[in-house]
Amino acid sequence: EPEVTQTPSHQVTQMGQEVILRCVPISNHLYFYWYRQILGQKVEFLVSFYNNEISEKSEIFDDQFSVERPDGSNFTLKIRSTKLEDSAMYFCASSESQGGSGELFFGEGSRLTVL
C-alpha cells in the first residue's frame, strides 16, 4: 500500500542550527503538507504546497521556515535557525488532486529535539 515516508525519524540539534526534514509523499498525490505536534499538544497545521508553491500557511510558519520540492519526489521542511520551542514531532502529509474527499495521508513523523 502506498505510504508517506519521512526521514529522519529522530533528530537532535543545537539551538541556532539549521535542520532539514525530508518527506516522500505518495507518488500520484499533488498536495503536500507539514504539520507539527508539540509534546502533549494538538496537531498544528504549518503549510500546504501545490504546483511548486505554497498554497496556504499558518501563523506558525514564519520566515525561519521554508519548504521545497527539489526533485519531484522529495518534499522538505527547512528550519533555518532552530529554537528550543521548535522541539516537536513534525508530520508530512499528502493528498490527491481534484475530486479527492480531502483525506490526508500522513507519514510517521520526524521528532526534532532542540537543545
Partner 1 sequence: AQSVTQLGSHVSVSEGALVLLRCNYSSSVPPYLFWYVQYPNQGLQLLLKYTTGATLVKGINGFEAEFKKSETSFHLTKPSAHMSDAAEYFCAVSRPNQAGTALIFGKGTTLS
Residues 3-32 that bind partner 1 (CB under 8 A): 4, 30-31
Q: Does 61 bind partner 1 (CB under 8 A)?
A: no
Which lies closer to partner 1 via its Cβ, residue 19 or residue 32? Answer: 32
**Closer of 14 and 51 to partner 1 (Cβ):** 51
Residues contacting residue 59 through CB under 8 Å, at least 6 positions apart: none
What is the C-alpha separation between 65 and 51, in angstroms, rounded?
Answer: 19
Q: Out of 61, 75, 77, 109, point to the residue binding partner 1 (CB under 8 A).
A: 109
- Identify the burial level of 96 via C-beta atoms within 10 angstroms of its C-beta, where 0-12 means exposed, 13-18 middle and 19 or more buried: middle
Is 96 a binding residue for partner 1 by CB under 8 A? The answer is: yes
